[in-house]
Amino acid sequence: MSNNIENKVVLITGASSGIGQSTAELLAKKGAKIVLAARRESRLKELADKINKAGGQAIYQVTDVTNPEDSKKLVQYAKEKFGKVDAIFLNAGIMPSSPLSALHVEEWESMVDINLKGVLNGLAAVLPEFTAQKSGHVITTSSVAGLKAYPNGGVYGATKWAVRELMEVLRMESAQEGTNIRTATIYPAAINTELLNTITDTEAAKGMAALYEQYGISPEAIARIVAFALEQPADVNVSEFTVGPTSQP
User: What's the CA gap between 114 and 99, in Å, rounded?
Assistant: 19
Known active-site residue 156: yes
The stretch near ligand NDP (CB under 6 A) out of 28-36, 45-53, 90-98, 126-134 is: 90-98
Q: Is 18 in the site for ligand NDP (CB under 6 A)?
A: yes
Q: Exposed/middle/buried for 39, CB within 10 Å: 0-12, 13-18, 19+?
A: middle
CA distance 21 to 159: 22
Segment near ligand NDP (CB under 6 A), from 10-18, 49-57, 126-134, 173-181?
A: 10-18
Residue with smaller CB distance to ligand NDP, 43 or 175: 43
Asked if residue 76 binds ligand NDP (CB under 6 A), the reply is no
Q: How far is the CB of 64 from ligand NDP (least distance, A)?
A: 4
Q: Which is nearer to ligand NDP, 32 or 36 (CB)?
A: 36
Give yes or no for residue 143 binding ligand NDP (CB under 6 A). Answer: yes
- The strand pairing partners of 141, in sequence order, are 186
Say which of 60, 156, 187, 212 is annotated catalytic: 156
Name residues whose C-beta falls within 8 Å of residue 141's C-beta, 6 or more positions apart in sequence.
14, 19, 89, 90, 91, 93, 186, 188, 222
Under the rule (CB under 6 A), what is the footprint of ligand NDP?
13-20, 38-40, 43, 63-66, 91-95, 114, 141, 143, 188, 190-191, 193-195, 219
